[in-house]
Amino acid sequence: MNSKNSFYNESLRRPLPFFLSVVKSHKWWLIISILVIIFASLMMAGSTYFFKLFIDSIEAGNINMAMKYGLMYPVLILVIELIYRVTGYTIGYLTTGINKTATDQVLEYLVRHNYSYFSNRFAGSITNKVRNITGALDQVIPDMLWGQLDTLVRFIVTLGLILTVDVWAGITFILLLVALSIINTKLSTKKTTLSKAYAEMGTKMQGR
pLDDT at residue 1 in the model: 46
Q: Specify the length of the chain in residues.
A: 208
Residues of the chain with pLDDT > 90, as a percent, come to 1
pLDDT at residue 58 in the model: 81
80-90 pLDDT, tens digit each: 889 888 888 88
Residue ranges of the alpha helices (H) in the chain? 3-13, 15-23, 27-59, 63-110, 115-119, 123-142, 150-165, 167-206
Cα gap 201→55, rounded to integer Å: 56
6-60 pLDDT, tens digit each: 555 555 566 677 777 788 888 898 899 899 988 888 888 878 777 778 788 888 7
Buried b (16+ CB within 10 A) or exposed e, 92-128: eebbebbbebbbebbeebeeeeeeeeeeeeeeeebeb
129-181 pLDDT, tens digit each: 666 676 777 778 888 888 888 888 888 888 887 788 778 887 888 888 888 87
The structure's pTM equals: 0.68
170-202 pLDDT, tens digit each: 788 888 888 887 887 777 676 667 666 666 665
Range with the largest mean pLDDT of 9-13, 53-57, 92-96, 102-106: 92-96
Cα gap 60→63, rounded to integer Å: 9
